[in-house]
Structures are given as structure tokens and as C-alpha cells.
Chain A
Amino acid sequence: MLENDANPTISKSTGLPRKRFYRARAHSNPLSDSHFPVPISPSEVDYSLHYPQLFPSNDQRDRSKKIEFADIGCGFGGLLISLSTLFPETLMIGMELRDKVTEYVKERILALRVAHPGQYQNISVDRTNSMKYIPNYFEKAQLSKMFFLFPDPHFKEKNHRRRVISPHLLDEYAYALRVGGIIYTITDVEELGEWMKTCLENHPLFEALTSEELEADPAVKLLSSATEEGQKVARNEGQTFQAVYRRISAAP
């Protein structure tokens, strides 16, 4: 079931494989329609696979240190790489649906780690469908930043429910983000930009950052320049539309 379940499948008391994990594995297709492993819950995410230098052993790792930034639909990983050196103490993960693209990002990070010893240890990527499995990766209020850079537009009205920003999905993002955490969105498609802004504006758990706050936030500067998609838009001198909102607590 899990690619990274070497530890939880072994019983701590007996040292033997725990049956319930293997029972699930016996099913021909544990996650039925998904063809990639999904962590059963956030505590089963194997940090030693993602950040081997920081967590040599998943079993004995410091459980208080958790992933704090998520780049949703990270594509080729440009944002993670820029953020890695900007926030060297923060753990971050990219979530990407396309298998080949994910493999590419993995290779890219490994190569950077070799070329710059001690650096790029805090970033990783996983192949998953972020629209379904956010709660499997992050506990409530675990994240301080979520990035949605140049997401697929899904123009047709009936496909709007496929958009990664939607009123219902924002509920899940609000769950994963801590109060004060920030959600960053940017697109070159005006209609999608309007849509994302409207969804965020209408959501009771988010409020827009002021222009001073935007100015002061180093992550904002990366939105239009750090990713491959952003660079393409910049080369074509295209316009971009961003919406940056803060997670606030619910009105009493």
C-alpha cells in the first residue's frame, strides 16, 4: 500500500510484519483506481525517504518537525528549488499528478543535493492527486504556506469542479493551513484568476493580504518568476493574475 511503510508494517513489540498492512496489500488494487501509493494518514508519511539527511531513520525521527510548505501541482519543481534556499529550515513538498514529471523533479532534487552538499535537503516531491489526498499528507493546521502556481484552467463550465481551487476544496486547504498561514495563487488566464480570487474572497476562513504585506513577503516575488510555467508566461510578456490570502479563524 505504502511505498514508504517499512516501519509501520512491522510490529514494535514482536518485530514481525503486522498483518493488517499485508492484508490490505493482498487486494489487487488497494486504492482501487489510483495507481500510486497513498499514505494512510499523515503520521505514515515516511520523512526518511523524502529528507534522508535530516531524518536518517523514520522510526526515531523528531515527530515535532513537520512539512510546512506544499506546492500543489508543482510541475517541474522550480518553485521548490527557489524556496529551498530562501527558507532552508523549512520542510517542503511538491505534489504532482503526472508520474514522469514527478520522477523528473525527484532526479532534479537529487542532482542538486549532490552538486551542493548540505543544501536542498529540505525539499521533496510525491506523486499524488492533491484534490483527493491532502488530508492523508497533512494534519490539521500543519501547513504555513500552500502554493497553487499556474494551475490547469479547465475552461468549460461543467469542468469547473475539476479546478484545484473551488469553494469545497478551499475547506480542505483551510483545514491543512494553520491560522495565519498563507495560500498563494497565480495564473495567466484572466478568467481563472477571477475565479480563484472570488472563491477565496467568499470563503469565511480566508482574508486578502494588504499590499504592504504582499510587498514584504519574499515568497510573493517568486510567484511569477520561479516556476517553468511562470517563466514561459514572462518570456511571452503575458499578464498574470495573483490572489494571496491568509487563513483566519472562524467567526465565533
Chain B
Amino acid sequence: MEETPAEEGDTNKDVEVAPALIAVHPTEKSVAVAVGSDLRVFDLVGNCPVSLVDESEAPYHKDSIRTICYGSKGKLFVSAGDDKTVKIWSTESWRCIFNVVSEKRVSAAAISPNGLHICFADKFGVIWVVDLDGGVDGTQPLANKKAVSLLSHYCSIITSLEFSLDGQFLVSADRDFKIRVTTFPTKPVNEAHEIQSFCLGHTDFVSCIAFISNLECSHGFLISGSGDSTVRLWDILSGSLLDTCDIGDKVELLESKEREGCHSAVTSLCTIADGALVAVAVQSLHGIILLNCDLSNHTLSVVKVVSISEETFIPTSLSTSCSTGYLWMVTGVSSLHNLGHSSLARVKVISGFNKDDPNSTANKVSIVEDDAIPGGMKLLEKLQGGLTFDEKMFLAAAEAVKTAMSNLLTKKQYSTEKRDFRKRTRNDRKLKQ
């Protein structure tokens, strides 16, 4: 075969840093940040930091967390990553209630809208499903769970996994430009054979996907961000591309074009105000781009670039709840070896989104001052692991963020020499000769 994802195994630990992640509870009861192996949660209702309880044999994560998310009902939370474990937490007790061992490192995860299944993707492009035995009540004891394989993207790393809003489809995006829409099986859940569509059109890796709700369409419309500097809108039933919004030009206007390559790759996106607005994080942009999504005309257009004055704040992850008008952002990385720091995370919030009048939003959005964000300084102290940071650290982090994003999303570029060597020494080639 042309390639094997085994190449992922021999990554250089010194340069391999994981971008920080953020997730907000659907009704903003809590906020979670993952930096490296550390999972930090702040309870916004009780206004206090949360202590996680994990009584599994291998408690907490031992290596970089690559994916976190809340279930749409807000009862469950999932975290998973390089330590090949998937942990499912009750958001009531913040106890780990299911522990799942994966054969490979985990790159993405999603919780079904009915809260009955968890899906996760491994570094070989296989998607697994875990049956949660009818859901959770928050007080149940910890259980170890086995996953069964559901489908696979042949030899391609899956970057993002989402259920359609009605739970009928599972959508998976990969580094080979593909988005696959699979009918999620009802019973028995073991294999997902029916492919509804492929959404094809991106000309580089797909980094993130999200659903936008719509009254006329229960599964929702899909949006995707990519290394090709575009955000695209799709009809998942047919796989048709409805609109393409090129954000590369916007970024080029703002940033000096000092670098070639994936300069304006989309790294994260998040729907706001019922999906009328979409916030987009772009590699190397200190701020976000706001798009307006007009579903009656099937168009996506740039509303505004919200820049953040701190040049070092390039968001690595975005999240929002359905209930409030806040957009939560984090920037950070798992490790900054050269500065002797284990990790860095900085959280910021943007407010002023107007659900009923997305167009007026452009003038009203603003960055919330640190002491005015929900949870205030206590929250920042928990999620960031501190309140003050040395500017030098931020600069280093900003660089590391860029590297982390590139490593995560683009395939390793081997020199010709190294490629030849790898080819010659690969087991499968040896066998053939």
C-alpha cells in the first residue's frame, strides 16, 4: 500500500505538542479546558472549581487529551486522546463512569444526542462505538467498557466526529479532504454499513465540522472548516456543497503574508445564536472570523473579523452553549519544553451576539474583560492554571500553537531521502521481495 498510519507512531515527542481544547456545557452549567493530559472543569452554577473523581485502574489521562465534548443533553462529558483511553464523565458528579480502552490513540469523539452511545475515532481511521447501557444516572459505579468497530476511513486520520442533530447520521471528517455521512444503525449497534453521502469539495484536510439547526431539516445543515482556507456549507442527505466561504483573503488582509503553506487553515469552528452565526478560528489569526449563515438562501458570508489586541492570542479551540450569548475561546499548548513549563492555557470570552438579529451583531460583539467573564478570576485561575503569564511564555506558546496545529492536521512531510529509507525498511515491502 501507498502508506500506513504507522508513521504516526514515531513522532518526535519534543515537537509534538497538543493544542488546548475548550468545551462549554449546553446550558452553560460548566466549562472544561484540556491542556496536555490535564482536564480542568469549572462549575458555573456553584461558582467553584471541580475536582474530578476517577476510580479506574488508570485514573485520569496520562498523555495529551485530543478531544473533549459534552453530550447535547448536558449529562455526559467525554475526554480521550494519546493515552488510548476514552473516559466518560457524569456532569452531575464529575465522576468517571465509563472507562474504555482503545487499541490506538484517539483523535475524535462524539456523544449521540440520545445519550446512549459514544463514538470515537482512532489514528488508523477506524470509528468505534460504545453502548452505554441505556444511559447514565450520575451515581452509578464506574464500569469498564469495550468498544466495537463501526466503520473506517481507510488509512486516514479522522479529525472530527459529529452526530447529526436528530442522531440519525454520524459524520466523520478526515485528513484526505473527505467528509463521510453514515446512517447510524439503530439495533444492533455493531457495524454501520449504509453510507448516506460523501461531502466532497475541500482541497485540503478537513479540520472541523459542526451542525446548524434548522426547523425544516431535523438533522441540520453541516458546516466544515479546512486547510484550504474555506468554510463550506453542506446538505448531508445528498452530500451537495451549498456554499463556500473563502476566509483566506480576509486573513491575508490582516496578516503580513510572511509565510507560505497552510497559513490560513481553519482550525476550529463553532455555531452561535442557533447557527445564524459561525465563529471561525484560523491558524495564525489573533482573533476570530464571524460568518453569517443564511439557511434560506444557503449562503455563508463573512460578517466581521473580531481581532484580539493581544497578538499572542490565537485561539486553538472555540465553544459556546445554546443558552447564552457567550463565545468561549482558549489558546494553549500541552508543553513548552524550552521554557521549562509544562503547559499553557489562556481563556477569553466574546459577548454581544444577537440571536434575533445576527446582522446587528457585527457592531456589538466585544471581548469581555477578564474579571467580567462568568466565573470571573476564580474560573480563570482554574482553567488557565494561573492568572499571570510572562509575555515571553506567550510568544513561545504562540509559536508552539502554530506547530501543534500543523502537526495535528497536516501529514508529515518526509524528505525524499527519509521517504526512501522508510519505504525500504517497511515490513510489507520486505515481504514482497
Contact = CB atoms under 8 A, between A and B. Distances in A.
B63 to A, nearest CB: 24
Given A33-B2, A131-B1, A131-B155, A27 B193 contact: no
A29 B203 contact: no
Contact of B154 (A26, A97, A140, A169): A169
A132 B194 contact: no
A156 B431 CA distance: 10
Given A23-B248, A169-B154, A162 B229 contact: no
B369 to A, nearest CB: 38
A129 B2 contact: yes
B198 interface: yes
Contact of B428 (A30, A162, A168): A162
A31 B176 contact: yes
B200 A33 contact: no
A53 B423 CA distance: 40
Contacts of A132: 2, 154-156, 176
Interface string A1-36: 100000000000000000111011011111111100
16 contacts: A20-B203, A20-B228, A23-B229, A30-B203, A31-B177, A33-B411, A40-B177, A97-B2, A131-B155, A132-B155, A135-B180, A168-B152, A171-B151, A171-B193, A175-B198, A205-B193
B174 to A, nearest CB: 10
Interface of B is mostly: loop
Given A20-B230, A27-B262, A33-B3, A168 B195 contact: no
B293 to A, nearest CB: 20
Contacts, number: 95
B3 to A, nearest CB: 5
A172 interface: yes
Contact of A23 (B1, B178, B182, B228): B228
The 8 A-B residue pairs with the shortest CB-CB distance, nearest first, are: A24-B203, A41-B200, A32-B411, A175-B195, A168-B152, A135-B198, A131-B154, A33-B3
B428 to A, nearest CB: 7
B236 to A, nearest CB: 12
B121 to A, nearest CB: 13
A28 B205 CA distance: 14
A159 B428 contact: yes
Contact of A30 (B1, B3, B204, B260): B204
Given A20-B246, A129-B1, A28 B200 contact: no
Contacts of B192: 171
B428 A21 contact: no
A175 B195 CA distance: 6
A108 to B, nearest CB: 24
Nearest to B174: A132
Interface in B319-342: none
Interface of B: 1-3, 124, 126, 149, 151-152, 154-156, 175-178, 180, 182, 191-195, 197-198, 200-205, 228-230, 239, 244, 246, 248, 260-262, 410-411, 413, 428, 431
Nearest to B176: A132
Most B CB within 10 A of own CB, among A32, A40, A169, A250 = A32
B1 A162 contact: yes
B228 A24 contact: yes
Nearest to B152: A168
A106 B126 CA distance: 35
Contacts of B198: 135, 175
A19 B229 CA distance: 12
B410 A32 contact: yes
Contact of B201 (A30, A40, A97, A175): A40
Contacts of B2: 33-34, 97, 129, 132
A54 B128 CA distance: 45
A27 B152 contact: no
Nearest to B199: A41
A91 B202 CA distance: 27
Contacts of B413: 28-29, 32
Contact of A174 (B124, B193, B411): B193
Contacts of A20: 203, 228, 230, 244, 246
Contacts of A33: 2-3, 411
A203 interface: yes
Interface in A18-76: 19-21, 23-24, 26-34, 40-42
Nearest to B414: A33
Contacts of A41: 200-201
Nearest to A132: B154
Nearest to B4: A162
Interface in A115-168: 129, 131-132, 135-136, 140, 156, 159, 161-162, 167-168
- By CB atoms of chain B within 10 A, which of A1, A27, A28 has the most? A27
Contacts of B175: 32
A24 B262 CA distance: 10
B176 to A, nearest CB: 6
A204 interface: yes
A168 B151 contact: yes
A173 B391 CA distance: 54
A140 B176 contact: no
A140 B3 contact: no
A175 B152 CA distance: 14
B94 to A, nearest CB: 36
Given A170-B193, A250-B194, 7 more contacts: A23-B203, A23-B228, A28-B261, A33-B3, A168-B126, A169-B154, A171-B191
Nearest to B180: A135
A14 to B, nearest CB: 15
Contact of A21 (B203, B229, B411): B203
Interface string A168-202: 11111011000000000000000000000000000
B195 A172 contact: yes
Given A20-B230, A23-B228, A27-B262, A171 B195 contact: yes
